[in-house]
Amino acid sequence: MAQHFSLAACDVVGFDMDHTLCRYNLPESALLIYNSFAQFLVKEKGYDKELLTVTPEDWDFCCKGLALDLEDGNFIKLADNGTVLRASHGTKMMPPEALAEAYGQKEWKHFMSDTGMACRSGKYYFYDNYFDLPGALLCARVVDSLTKQNNGQKTFDFWKDIVAGIQHNYKMSAFKENCGIYFPEIKRDPGRYLHTCPESVKKWLQQLKNAGKILLLITSSHSDYCRLLCEYILGNDFTDLFDIVITNALKPGFFSHLPSQRPFWTLEKDEEQEALPSLDKPGWYSQGNAVHLYELLKKMTGRNEPKVVYFGDSMHSDIFPARHYSNWETVLILEELRGDRDGKPEESEPLEKKGKYEGPKAKPLNTLSKKWGSFFIDSVSGLENTEDSLVYTWSCKRISTYSTIAIPSLEAIAELPLDYKFLRFSSSNSKTAGYYPNPPLILSNNETLTTK
């Protein structure tokens, strides 16, 4: 494999929308997502009203890459070899002795050595992105509440109520019907929750188009929500930038399912109209699959194997499936890289917004959790009289396995020439090679980590 990656060599440039093209004001959006679920659980399902009160300190629990064991209510953080590095029952962290007793040094029972293992299953749930993370805090607090009410309850059956909360707040018709809490609030005050696209990124998108690249937008959000976001962050003429827009893409199934399982649908006034046997021309579609999309890209580029790069923030929905099933180049948007160099999170909102909104603030979800430690590495206790050793996390291993490069935001590369040569992740490069503009400081300082 080549040592370097360049956008100039790509025929097609695709983007996810949420947390990729559209950056959110994380402290505000986290609180909104949390409330959308908490209100539903309390009002519709009879859960403890304590869930409605969340303090700024509570948000330290949130950390990408955690798995929730749906049966026992434990959250775990995995090493790259599948052993458990840290665990909590609800929000209560397990001390070393309890951790050793529960998990020992053996592989977690649901782990599969392929780092692309499912993130969704009836037995566990991986928290992979910033839409998920407020749900991790809520589920942990639900476990706390049920454990307290039922004198140390050992098994849990609350997940069906979380799924009902997702259905209520985020179903396909929720935006149109003004249903739930989330969509009505985003519509009411988008500026509170969304960052507009920087001018540098808008110019860069136009530059890609001018260079003859085909631009794609592929999002699992529905068309009405996608339109609201894109008009707010890019302007009313945003459709001029993209050759193909695919909404309700139902990723990762968009990449992994057969065309017969996931046809494209035409859209009219945000309603799906007609299933298509193939994709014949550019435009705005719903659902679909990567195989039929690639056939259209061949026609549009006149190439047998057009080279596609896809930008996304979710390892589960974007990066792993685009690489594994479609063999596309992948660029991971990793906001954990923001502000990492000086130990301070990047300013989470513009100065003019400071103090504008009342209420408890979530810490920015891209900052370090004191409870869970680094997203990238962690320590494993040594035997008696031996030093602790540092190991890569499972999340970190997946980044270097499935991403071409990882960047903190589109803005980080928008002013580079299109033929800029990025050093890519590969087995022949160092573990930190693919991070741009800099690797996480904690990885730079520990280049020679144990790989277990």
Active-site positions read 16, 18
The residues, any chain, with a CB within 8 Å of residue 72's CB and separated by 6 or more, are 89, 154, 155, 156
Fill in the amino acid letter for 187: K
Task: Give the neighbor-by-neighbor strand order of the sheet with 124-126.
Answer: 92-93, 84-89, 74-78, 67-69, 124-126
For 65, the token pair is 């890459």
For 402, the token pair is 């499935």
The residues, any chain, with a CB within 8 Å of residue 160's CB and separated by 6 or more, are none
For 30, the token pair is 């986290």
For 309, the token pair is 């790069």
CB distance 218 to 246 below 8 Å: yes
For 306, the token pair is 């057009």
DSSP per position, 81-115: TSBEEEEEETTEEPPHHHHHHHHTTSBPTT--SST
The structure tokens 């808008």 sit at: 202
Pairing mode, if any, of strands 23-24 and 194-195? antiparallel
Best CA proximity match to 393, nearest among 65, 61, 111, 63: 65
The structure tokens 């407020």 sit at: 134
- Quote the DSSP letter at residue 375: S
Helix (H) or strand (E) segment spanning residue 136: helix 133-149
Residues present in the chain in total:
452
The structure tokens 């144990």 sit at: 450
| Beta-carbon count within 10 A of 295 CB | 14
CB distance 87 to 99 below 8 Å: yes
The verdict on whether omega for the bond into residue 345 sits within 30 degrees of 0, i.e. cis, is no
Best CA proximity match to 34, nearest among 45, 22, 26, 23: 26
350-355 LR contacts (CB < 8 Å, sep 24+): 353/25, 353/192
Pairing mode, if any, of strands 84-89 and 23-24? unpaired
| SS3 label, residue 4 | strand
